[in-house]
Structure 1
């Protein structure tokens, strides 16, 4: 028998992955005996065998989705659209935060921003911090006004500091007035780490080197505020 073509093998594996996303029942989820399972490896081994007997395991699902995230940008446009429909199911329905994060990661590598952004936007509203952070990073790779506004909203409204920092860092790749104004407002944050990260992003966005004093940056950026009517001042936290 001839060996299976790598791309065909990936497709077969992903078929199981997305089928299990639609009808997910079990698979290494933490339950009331979690502490006992971590102490006694027999429980974990038995659970793993039971999962494999039922169908694809969480480990295999993550492996297949990671493979898709690493390869989707090299696929033809029609195949990217095909997988986008399946990624949508994972982002919306999968109980695993790690699976949703990987789905957002893969979505951010889809060539068509019209197909990618709606999937990433769902990740911005996820309950999991790591999914929201991944969504911010994904938007950082899409340099358009819609992505800039989504990131600016996260900077202005996100309460988790790590997610907010991910949004600030991602704005570094967005060279437009929306990004500049959002970062200008973030310079007033009380957290020194936030201000330092904001100035780092501003250096990339503006091309200016104004040192490490937030007040110097604010004074310089305020000169341009009146010439940017579309830069909303409602983004202040």
Structure 2
């Protein structure tokens, strides 16, 4: 079935139908192939790229994070960027956190807000709109992802 949907995606001229195929793949929990992702992320129609973001949000971290990061940072369509930022908030990946922290420096308040919301979702923390505190948290916890406690969480042997 996944192969048939992928073939239909490549053969389809209508961007709305291509987007619908990606949506269906997401509903059926079908992981996309690298070829499909490559084609969808460069599709001329933003609705296809948005559906790709939704599909990748259900995928394992790794290559999904890379594609979403590229779309969040570089896509020319604001709605695609926002969909990618929301999708990054669903991937438990240290690289996703780094990308979201980078987006806090964006000049667009909507992008900043969505980056904070996604960071809240990933981390379970809430520093409000304090961007400096978010960045410090993300940077200090990059080593904690390796199983090492963050400096603030380490206990002193004297106590």
The alignment's TM-score, normalised by the length of structure 1, stands at: 0.56
Instruction: Tell me, in whole angstroms, the C-alpha distance in 1 between the residues paired with 2:114 and 2:30.
Output: 29
Determine which structure has greater relative contact order: mean sequence separation of CA pairs < 8 Å that are 6+ residues apart, divided by chain length: 2
Which secondary structure state, in structure 2, belongs to the residue aligned with residue 108 of structure 1? helix
Which secondary structure state, in structure 1, belongs to the residue aligned with residue 27 of structure 2? coil
Which of 108, 111, 123 pairs up with 1:206?
Answer: 123
Provide the aligned length of Structure 1 versus Structure 2.
145
Instruction: Tell me, in whole angstroms, the C-alpha distance in 1 between the residues paired with 2:109 and 2:30.
Output: 37
Gaps of 5+ in 2: 147-159
Instruction: Tell me, in whole angstroms, the C-alpha distance in 2 between the residues paired with 1:117 and 1:206.
Output: 28
Q: Does 1:186 align with 2:87?
A: no
Instruction: Tell me, in whole angstroms, the C-alpha distance in 2 between the residues paired with 1:122 and 1:110.
Output: 20
Q: Does 1:106 align with 2:24?
A: yes
The Cα offsets for residues 137-178 of structure 1, whole Å up to 9 and x where unpaired, read as 111112322212221121122121110110000111111111
The alignment's TM-score, normalised by the length of structure 2, stands at: 0.80
Report the alpha carbon displacement of residue 125 of structure 1 after superposing the two structures with TM: 1.6
CA RMSD of aligned residues (A): 2.1
Instruction: Tell me, in whole angstroms, the C-alpha distance in 2 between the residues paired with 1:164 and 1:218.
Output: 20
Gaps of 5+ in 1: 1-82, 230-237
Instruction: Tell me, in whole angstroms, the C-alpha distance in 1 between the residues paired with 2:95 and 2:27.
Output: 23
The Cα offsets for residues 167-198 of structure 1, whole Å up to 9 and x where unpaired, read as 00011111111111111111110000110010
Q: Does 1:141 align with 2:53?
A: no
> Relative to 1, partners in 2 of residues 1:224 and 1:168: Cα closer, same or farther, differing over 3 Å?
same
Report the alpha carbon displacement of residue 217 of structure 1 after superposing the two structures with TM: 1.1
1:128 alignment counterpart: 45
Q: Does 1:152 align with 2:69?
A: yes
Instruction: Tell me, in whole angstroms, the C-alpha distance in 1 between the residues paired with 2:145 and 2:33.
Output: 25
> Is the contact between residue 186 and residue 195 of structure 1 (CA under 8 Å) also seen in structure 2?
yes
